[in-house]
Amino acid sequence: MHLIAAHPAFHPMMAFGMPSGPDLIILLVIVLVLFGAKRLPDLARSLGQSVNEFKKAKEEFDKEAAKPASPESPESPSSTASTSETKSEQKQS
């Protein structure tokens, strides 16, 4: 067992390795039977859109993370809240 775990291609989630050859063909036939030929292009299109949205979100996150921190504004969040409360009280008067 230790020899298998030490193998560089071993992954605990895929104990039997990546499907290839006949295994992959069998999996594709099963997917075709389950979803039907008409729905496969729609599924592929929606999967591609999901991947694109994920990439955009990741790029935006990376840009935000790489941006230097902006200096704090002179108003603290608590003073902003009290200012908005004061304005709403003035409107009610």
Q: List beta partners, residue 14.
A: 11
**Cβ neighbours around 40 below 10 Å, total:** 13
Q: Which residue has the higher pLDDT, 74 or 21?
A: 21
Per-residue pLDDT tens for 16-44? Answer: 677 778 888 898 889 888 888 888 889 88
Helix pair angle (22-35, 40-66), 10° resolution? 110
**Tokens, residue 57:** 């979100």
Residue 76 has pLDDT above 60, yes or no: no
Q: What one-character-per-residue DSSP string does 49-92 give?
A: HHHHHHHHHHHHHHHHHHSPPPPPPSS-HHHHHHHHHHHHHHHH
Q: How far, in whole angstroms, is CA 4 from its chain's centroid?
A: 32
Name the band, by pLDDT with cuts 50, 70 and 90, for residue 89.
low
* Mean pLDDT, the chain, whole residue set: 74
Alpha carbon dihedral 11, 53, 65, 73, in 10-degree steps, equals -150
DSSP, collapsed to helix, strand or coil, labels residue 37 as coil
